[in-house]
Amino acid sequence: MATRKKIYYPDSQIEKNLFTKGKEFMYIDDWKEYVGYYHRYSTGEVFTEREWNPLKSKKLVQYRERSDSYFKYLDLKKYVVLGGDKKEVLGANMFWRYSAPKAVKRVPSKTELKNGFMTRYFVVKLNEQNRVCYEVGESESKTFKTKNTGINQYLYDLIEIPWKIDGPEHDVYQDNVLKYPGVIDTNLRIVDRFSKKFPILKQILSNPREHSKYDR
């Protein structure tokens, strides 16, 4: 039977009726991928079912694609079963739990298209800042600085970049005053600002028209 860190959680600390299509969570009991409804607590705990069911809810952990031998190693070295409940043997910093960031090709959402701006997320490897930099998804960016899971903050830095995707192609001035910021000029200014700390961004973000209607 799965157990939670606390006996009681107010509704303000629970996200209910969430759904995953897969590649997001796995059962901690047998390391099998989970597809279906789940709920999440402010403590970071994730369980199956739309909301807590002491008889049906099963504990979930972040999905990882690894070999069977890898998970057997985890069971032997990192977990213990107490009272039928599988628990992690906690340590200081369990670097083996971090996962390598996954590069993505972002597509603006309907809301971002409506707003004319999108937020893009990039990771830069701290010891190879001029060589290793790529874009990651919003959901993965949220794992940054989460202890012992997701993006390893000891190896990577995360950069959040606002990106203009709608408006005039170039800046529009009236009486020498900027009236309408242009897509190209705005994004060039953004890249210039962020590349002062991370020069590699000028190579990665070399197309200021990207994701806009002018990118043909």
Amino acid at 82: L
End-to-end C-alpha distance for the chain, whole angstroms: 55
Sign of CA dihedral 83, 54, 8, 40: positive
Question: Has residue 64 got a pLDDT over 90?
Answer: no
Q: Which two structure tokens, joined as six digits, stand for 79? A: 């977990």
Q: Where on the phi/psi map is residue 139: left (φ > 0), alpha (ψ -120 to 50), or beta?
A: alpha
pTM passes above 0.85: no
Distance separating alpha carbons of residues 211 and 208, to the nearest angstrom? 9
What is the distance, to the nearest Å, from the Cα of residue 19 to the centroid of all Cα atoms in its chain?
A: 17
pLDDT digits (tens, 9 = 90+) for 112-150: 999 999 999 999 988 787 888 989 988 888 888 776 667
pLDDT digits (tens, 9 = 90+) for 72-123: 877 777 777 766 677 776 554 555 566 778 888 888 989 999 999 999 999 9
Furthest CA-CA distance within the chain: 76
pLDDT of residue 60: 94
Integer CA distances (angstroms), 200 to 24, 127, 133, 138, 144, in order:
30, 13, 7, 21, 20
Question: Has residue 42 got a pLDDT over 60?
Answer: yes
Q: Which residues contact 156 (CB under 8 A, 6 or more apart)?
A: 101, 123, 124, 125, 126, 144
Contact 138, 123 (CB under 8 A): no
Mean local confidence (pLDDT), 59-70: 88
